[in-house]
Amino acid sequence: MSMAQLVAAGAPELPEGWFYRITTTGFGYPTVQIRQPGRWFGSREVSYAIVRSEEHENGDVAVIAACVKAWERLKEDEDYARKVREALTLRGDHDPRGGR
């Protein structure tokens, strides 16, 4: 199945150069990875989701659901990282007397 077919079936469209990889875990469970091109070569995983085939009527639907879950996980991780960066802008001592 191509990227265009995955998107047409309901998987979220990814940024330019990113792609889905369907693989297995070390225990043999099918997994969807969202991958981003590496800086010089290859690619790196930025999100993943295990394909839950028992929850869907067929494997194709289960893979699309895992693509959606991996995308949602990526957005949650980005939101968390943004909040951490915002909190770290307040790093330092906050003297209740106004400082010196």
Which pLDDT score, from 0 to 100, does residue 20 have?
Answer: 94
In a domain, 50, yes or no: yes
In a domain, 98, yes or no: no
**64 is in which domain, residue-wise?**
3-88
* Cα–Cα distance, 21 to 34 (Å, whole number): 6
Number of folded domains in the chain?
1
Quote the tokens at residue 95: 């003297």
In a domain, 95, yes or no: no
Q: Is 76 helix (H, G, I), strand (E, B) or coil?
A: helix
Convert the pLDDT of each residue in 36-74 to its tens digit. 998 899 999 999 999 988 887 888 888 999 999 999 999
In a domain, 99, yes or no: no
Residues forming a β-bridge with 45: 35
How far is the first Cα of the chain from the last one, in angstroms, to the nearest whole number?
Answer: 64
